[in-house]
Structure 1
Amino acid sequence: MPVTTAASSSLPSQTIELSPSYTLPLGLLVVAVPLLLFSPWLASAIAIFGLFLLFQAVTIRLQFTPTALDVYRSDKMIRRFPYQEWQNWKIFWTPVPILFYFKEVNSIHFLPMLFDPKMLRTCLEERCPIRN
């Protein structure tokens, strides 16, 4: 099945892989630097979390297929979330998206915003419209 990058046009019948976004992890690393003057422990914790998210942004990929959201680590699929089981979703903090939430029939999921937020929203609106 062909994989379309986030830059090209999308049709719900295509598989779309989201481009990574390094904004959140790099933002945390930038915030950690001035915190070193006030609280080295807090700065270290934030920096370590930022590095962890940076590693995740490099290795984790989301693919929107016609029937499910697939999560990959490198080339290995680690989880599939069929759209038919989704109840709702939300992207938190619109000015600078930091968190993606979605609820399935039996569980909820929170993902840090490590993906192109505009393309994420587009894919979600096309493939899994919010049901109230």
Structure 2
Amino acid sequence: MTRICKDGFEREFIREEREMYGIAYTQNILSGRWKYLILWFLKTKERRYSEIKAFLGDISQGSLTKQLRELEKDGLINRKVYPEVPPRVEYSLTSKGVSFMPIIDLMEELGKKFGEQPE
């Protein structure tokens, strides 16, 4: 197995282990405690930073900023800054982000099916 780093995957791994690479790529894109929930929260409409922060609750500002930057860098979300004072920033899914929704939806269904049931 190849090592995943900030520069991505080794070309040889991509070429020789194509099926495994697909899984590793997806896992690498979605790695991070909050990314799944951020994508799920953005699936119906664009959201402001403060809405995402309120939805996630106890996430630190630094962690949220890091997760949003990584999702943007990986092409899953758009970040739109409006020229206002104070600046208004909204996040939305890209077409690539929308293509990840079946994975997120399946995770939601599996959690409902196999997760703890409310009393």
TM-score, with normalisation over the residues of structure 2? 0.29
Give the structure with the higher percent strand.
Answer: 1
Higher helix content, 1 or 2: 2
